[in-house]
């Protein structure tokens, strides 16, 4: 029982960390906010339509939050650049 509680707490902490990273991304560029939410929703819908179990669907939604986490290390002038 104690082991299951530890696993549940670790999972909650992991999700909170991922959500904090997603919020950091949102804070850098307001235009990404709706994109992140849209990508998370679409990824979940796709996983659901493939018949994945609910836990896996939630895993896909969570992974979608991390889609742009690499942008945190890229300078703003590069992200805002309109040319190649």
The Cα–Cα gap between 72 and 28 comes to 8
What rounded mean pLDDT belongs to the chain? 82
Q: What is the pLDDT of residues 55-81, one digit of tens each?
A: 999 999 988 877 777 777 777 777 677
pTM above 0.85, yes or no: no
- Average pLDDT of 33-47? 85
The Cα–Cα gap between 20 and 76 comes to 19
Nearest in space to 62 (alpha carbons), one of 4, 27, 11, 26 = 11
């Amino acid at each position: 029982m104690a082991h299951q509680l530890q696993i549940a707490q670790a999972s909650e902490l992991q999700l909170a960390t991922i959500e904090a990273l997603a919020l950091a991304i949102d804070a850098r560029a307001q235009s990404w906010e709706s994109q992140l939410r849209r990508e998370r929703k679409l990824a979940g819908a796709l996983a659901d339509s493939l018949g994945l179990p609910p836990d896996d669907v939630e895993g896909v939604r969570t992974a979608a939050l991390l889609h742009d986490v690499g942008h945190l290390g890229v300078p703003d002038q590069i992200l805002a650049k309109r040319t190649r």
